Amino acid sequence: EAQVTQNPRYLITVTGKKLTVTCSQNMNHEYMSWYRQDPGLGLRQIYYSMNVEVTDKGDVPEGYKVSRKEKRNFPLILESPSPNQTSLYFCASTWADTQYFGPGTRLTVL
């Protein structure tokens, strides 16, 4: 079954404690993206990747890092999380000009 998976689905952490949210797709898609969703703001793109070792900033990249060492994986790294990064995060991969989304990761930073 074609899908985008994210882990963990829920995470509560404290300010400054480094964390990684994993994203994986089994469809051999080249493009992958990360978004955050906040009430009243819709979804905003954090980073996207066009292929292995090729990434670019989206609209809200501050405080985040990404890497794309293999085609199937696109982890999102928060080196020093802060409370304003409390949000719902979605990973997506692109096929035929359309982005398909993972189930989301709800992150709370205390």
Binding residues for other proteins, rule: CB under 8 A, are 31-33, 35, 40-45, 48-50, 56, 58-59, 90, 92, 94, 97-104
Nearest distance, CB of residue 8 and other proteins, angstroms: 15
42: left (phi over 0), alpha (psi -120 to 50) or beta: left
Nearest distance, CB of residue 46 and other proteins, angstroms: 12
Query: What DSSP designation does 36 have?
Result: E
**Of 7 and 17, which CB lies nearer to other proteins in the complex structure?**
7
Nearest distance, CB of residue 104 and other proteins, angstroms: 5
d(CA 30, CA 62): 24
Amino acid at 81: P
